[in-house]
Structure 1
Amino acid sequence: MVSVKSTEIQKTFGKWLDKTHEGPVEVTKYDRPAAYLISALQYEELISNYRKVITAGQLTDREVSLLKSARVTTDRPFNLDDLPDEDVPSDERHQMRA
């Protein structure tokens, strides 16, 4: 990734704007990352993949019904112990799910 000082961005913004078509541009201030300049296409990709987190209480009755009726079809069995909870020791995780 290309990195440029914020003072340089101010002087030659058009040049750096064109560089965003090659990839993100890291803008630094006092030798630390301060911002990232990205192309419109990259921004649209980020936004299209953005997911908002909501609590279970915010789900509609229809959404809850859809979740209850959902089925996972796989040849490989799984269980919740396969999912790591980094902050919870495995013995406590098992008790929480029992």
Structure 2
Amino acid sequence: MSSAPASEIQKNFGEWHDRAYEGPVEITRYGRTTAYLVSAKLFRDMWASYRKVVAVEELSDSDMAMIRKATVESSEPFNLSDIPDIEETPDAPRMG
């Protein structure tokens, strides 16, 4: 992964923009990571797999009603181990 201070990114944005196609660019300020510059494709891939965590207490009554009504269209028993990890899916985004 490339890394550069924010001032360098600002001075030579075109060059760093092109490097973002090769992989994420770490942007630092005063020696600390403050942001990353990524290609649009990588961003879309990451965003597609983004999941927001919500505490049960934050769910509305209508959310809870939908969960209660949910069914699994299968006569076979299942458990969470039946669900593949994202790394095991054929179209999982590859980082790095």
Range into which the TM-score falls when normalised by the shorter chain: 0.5 to 0.7
**2:68 corresponds to:** 64
Mark the runs of 5 or more structure 2 residues left unpaired by the alignment. Answer: 83-96
Q: 1:37 to 1:53 in 2, by over 3 A?
A: same
**2:32 corresponds to:** 32
Larger Rg: 1
In structure 1, how many angstroms separate the alpha carbons of the residues matched to 2:42 and 2:31? Answer: 25
Equivalent positions of 1:82-93 (< 5 A) are none
- Of Structure 1 and Structure 2, the greater helix share is in 1
Q: Deviation per CA, 1:17-61: give whole Å up to 9, x if none.
A: 010100000011111111100010111011111112234443242
Query: Which has the bigger relative contact order, CA under 8 A and spacing at least 6?
Result: 2
Q: Deviation per CA, 1:42-90: give whole Å up to 9, x if none.
A: 1101111111223444324233221xx445159x9xxxxxxxxxxxxxx
Farther-moved stretch of structure 1 (47-56 vs 28-37): 47-56
2:50 is the counterpart of 1:50: yes
**1:92 corresponds to:** none
SS of structure 1 residue aligned to 2:66: helix
Mark the runs of 5 or more structure 1 residues left unpaired by the alignment. Answer: 77-98
Structure-2-length-normalised TM-score? 0.64
In structure 1, how many angstroms separate the alpha carbons of the residues matched to 2:2 and 2:10? Answer: 16
